[in-house]
Structure 1
């Protein structure tokens, strides 16, 4: 049985994707038009199949290879091989090592105080703003999320944290520019390209030198103590102790920063935006925060499990606006999905946003309703109906850390402020490696008094 899909075009599908407003929007249209399994054209892939049904996705969870051509724009970022497309036999032990750190409670607890301090610094600055001055949530919160991951990945030991953040922004902007090519008429000339390449090379060298200094400061084999860096809550320490090469350690730090940058900040931005349009949900969150935290401005690590509605709000926001709107795998053999045969070497697309808006599993899917995630409503829902961090052996290793950061940020900000949309500002989602707003998300911030009144 042939997989349904649009007629092929000589441009390899680039025009259809551009006309739709990006790959995430194109996939939403594809599934609305052709059903849960769709064949479509994608530049860089001879055969691409998108699957938007969580039950049918079960047939793909074993896939452990990513399509190399789709991630080739990141090749120059890495020294020891593109970590996004490591072969399965090399990826599996690397992933296990990362999970011992990124997914572990010791790691989260160790860094919680530093994350709280960074979140509080941002809240203090917002509290000093004039009442009519809007906050650009994405710009502010992605900057904060990068500072948080720098503190995490480098163990808080970067000599110049702001310089490290600036260097990474320079590198990321250049590499994403290779993915999202500007129109020819707007492309920079040869001299400008050379200057940009020189800036990027210098920034990348600076990042690698920063990691090298942290590696050099690591002292293996010491007894456990306050100065011991070899515990499993320290990313670089764990990599050194595992015998990873300096090049692979540098690559891993950059990959961690790449995966975490934008993601947490964008997720929190979308959550505050959605709460701004649903004051009843915002009120319920602040009531929960006031009840659990009383007069404290920030939660302790142990408080987070006592904030179930905050978690439901975040989960619903990640359903409606997943920062990573899709994922991709490569088949190494033929695969049968829903009665359709997918050939070996095909790109299987996970259209995360389309899965999250599938009305068969999410009634009135466009509606923001955190109560979808109560235990009663969650019972019986397919496990792959909610996949903001992907699925299978290539799912995000840092999912637990990202959720921890997001819950902390939301708790700190919603305890201190009420957020209102800036009148006249239009929020338009676009896909730029993550799902973000084209012209940021500008909101007005009102300080809350200790009794909860504005």
Structure 2
């Protein structure tokens, strides 16, 4: 059967994406209008098909090629070629190396104490704000915190500690630099308005890239040389594997980008949802009090016992997946469906509309609602494997998924054991596409101490 979709546009689809507010929202609209498989136009893709049904997605999970034109906006970050689109034969060994560093539970446990120190330092700073008294006796803690700003900086510190063997002096500056580079190039790709003249934007992106490369060089230069038994150090593993210096710098760059976004954004959206659902927040707090007692932070083994917190994080990443979509390119004709009714030609860009998959009402009743109980073992067993894909699928899925979950659950446990979070009245939280699902004007919340009963 022919794959349904909107009529072709003279602008190649730019206007439709912009009118929807970004590709993440456009995909929701497409699937609501045309069903589980949709063809559409997109800048950088001659032919594009989006698949929002988890059963049909199984037929695409083997694809190991990313469309080069769609990832061109990342090319300025790299010296040895865009690591996001490296050929499959080169990507396989590189992925295995990253997994050896990022996916090991013993390595997570060895670094857990340092992660806890970093998370506790942020909590202490927020607690200090809550204790300060301002004019007319008002507590400074009633002034909002900017979750994305602080939590992405924390996540960047964590990935530097874990994978790079070092610390960076100004993580906030690095976060801003990544945003400047990506916003400029995403704006070019999708025609999204970006503040400033073309020359000003180009200069801002150039300066940001200079900052990023200098930061990476400092991290690499500060790496301790010598034999290391701990292969959780990414640089050490790359050196041992014989990678050349430029490739090491590129790998460091991509890990800093992916890790600081994913974890910081996931925690920010989770706190946003808990602030709007105080009953769920209280249940999380009760679990933390029961499992941790008087302790301010969990041990690594405690994470397995924080089952409701785990469900809350999963439901948050269902509603606000840090990466709202993924893309692959077919290298041969593909037939989806029990009878092969959807024929996708070779050379087609296949989109994984992660947000639309997570909002598919056939598998998620009343999908807009925040219901952590969707992730009980019984509920999970009743859904297709690919109904929940916050870290992507197949051979190009996120290598750092396991690490990101450990970091996110630790940070949430530390913060929710000590604080209550409330939304700032009148502050609108709008998801936008900035390589991840970002809040346009941050997520501002008031933080107050909680006193366990």
Distance apart, 1:194 and its partner CA: 6.9
Following the alignment from structure 1 to structure 2, what is the Cα–Cα distance between the partners of residues 168 and 408? 21
Q: 2:416 aligns with which of 409, 414, 417?
A: 414
Compared CA separation, residues 234 and 426, structure 1 to 2 (3 A): same
Following the alignment from structure 1 to structure 2, what is the Cα–Cα distance between the partners of residues 284 and 411? 12
Listed as ranges, the matches of 1:144-159 within 5 Å are 144-156=154-166, 158=167
Listed as ranges, the matches of 1:22-37 within 5 Å are 22-37=22-37
Distance apart, 1:196 and its partner CA: 3.4
Query: Considering only aligned residues, what root-mean-square deviation do their CA atoms show, in Å?
Result: 1.8
Match of 2:289 in 1: 290
Following the alignment from structure 1 to structure 2, what is the Cα–Cα distance between the partners of residues 444 and 208? 34
Match of 1:272 in 2: 271
Following the alignment from structure 1 to structure 2, what is the Cα–Cα distance between the partners of residues 429 and 193? 22
Match of 1:263 in 2: 262
Contact 1:316 1:372 in 2 (8 A): yes
Cα deviation code 1:332-391 (max 9, x no counterpart): 011012311101111000000110011111111111111111111112210000000000
Distance apart, 1:108 and its partner CA: 0.9
Following the alignment from structure 2 to structure 1, what is the Cα–Cα distance between the partners of residues 202 and 374? 51
Compared CA separation, residues 422 and 314, structure 1 to 2 (3 A): same
Compared CA separation, residues 195 and 47, structure 1 to 2 (3 A): closer
Match of 1:402 in 2: 404
Match of 1:353 in 2: 355
Contact 2:151 2:264 in 1 (8 A): yes
Match of 1:433 in 2: 435
Following the alignment from structure 1 to structure 2, what is the Cα–Cα distance between the partners of residues 209 and 105? 28
The two structures have a TM-score, normalised by structure 2, of: 0.93
Listed as ranges, the matches of 1:14-25 within 5 Å are 14-25=14-25
Following the alignment from structure 1 to structure 2, what is the Cα–Cα distance between the partners of residues 361 and 194? 44
Listed as ranges, the matches of 1:323-338 within 5 Å are 323-338=322-337
Following the alignment from structure 1 to structure 2, what is the Cα–Cα distance between the partners of residues 136 and 310? 22
Compared CA separation, residues 184 and 295, structure 1 to 2 (3 A): closer
Q: 2:197 aligns with which of 179, 188, 210?
A: 188
Distance apart, 1:417 and its partner CA: 0.5
Partner of 2:426: helix, strand, or coil?
Answer: coil
Match of 1:299 in 2: 298
Contact 1:106 1:233 in 2 (8 A): no
After superposing on structure 2, the runs of 4+ consecutive aligned residues of structure 1 that deviate more than 6 Å are 182-185
Following the alignment from structure 2 to structure 1, what is the Cα–Cα distance between the partners of residues 431 and 380? 27
Distance apart, 1:151 and its partner CA: 2.1
Distance apart, 1:183 and its partner CA: 7.2
Distance apart, 1:115 and its partner CA: 1.2
Match of 1:131 in 2: 141
Following the alignment from structure 1 to structure 2, what is the Cα–Cα distance between the partners of residues 27 and 273? 24
Match of 1:199 in 2: 207
Listed as ranges, the matches of 1:9-408 within 5 Å are 9-129=9-129, 130-156=140-166, 158=167, 161-163=168-170, 166-167=173-174, 169-181=176-188, 187-188=196-197, 190=199, 192=200, 195-196=203-204, 199-215=207-223, 217-220=224-227, 229-338=228-337, 339-408=341-410
Cα deviation code 1:237-291 (max 9, x no counterpart): 1111111111111111111111112211111111111111212211111111001
Contact 1:316 1:373 in 2 (8 A): yes
Compared CA separation, residues 184 and 307, structure 1 to 2 (3 A): closer
Compared CA separation, residues 341 and 49, structure 1 to 2 (3 A): same
* Count of matched residue positions in the alignment of Structure 1 and Structure 2: 438
Following the alignment from structure 2 to structure 1, what is the Cα–Cα distance between the partners of residues 202 and 234? 35
Partner of 2:313: helix, strand, or coil?
Answer: helix
Distance apart, 1:2 and its partner CA: 1.1
Following the alignment from structure 2 to structure 1, what is the Cα–Cα distance between the partners of residues 219 and 10? 45
Contact 1:147 1:165 in 2 (8 A): no
Following the alignment from structure 2 to structure 1, what is the Cα–Cα distance between the partners of residues 198 and 326? 34
Following the alignment from structure 1 to structure 2, what is the Cα–Cα distance between the partners of residues 112 and 346? 43
Partner of 1:358: helix, strand, or coil?
Answer: coil
Distance apart, 1:299 and its partner CA: 0.5
Contact 1:63 1:329 in 2 (8 A): yes
Distance apart, 1:54 and its partner CA: 0.1
Compared CA separation, residues 31 and 283, structure 1 to 2 (3 A): same
Following the alignment from structure 1 to structure 2, what is the Cα–Cα distance between the partners of residues 185 and 322? 23
Following the alignment from structure 1 to structure 2, what is the Cα–Cα distance between the partners of residues 283 and 111? 29
Following the alignment from structure 2 to structure 1, what is the Cα–Cα distance between the partners of residues 229 and 197? 46
Following the alignment from structure 2 to structure 1, what is the Cα–Cα distance between the partners of residues 193 and 48? 27
The two structures have a TM-score, normalised by structure 1, of: 0.92
Distance apart, 1:63 and its partner CA: 0.2
Following the alignment from structure 2 to structure 1, what is the Cα–Cα distance between the partners of residues 194 and 115? 43
Compared CA separation, residues 197 and 418, structure 1 to 2 (3 A): closer
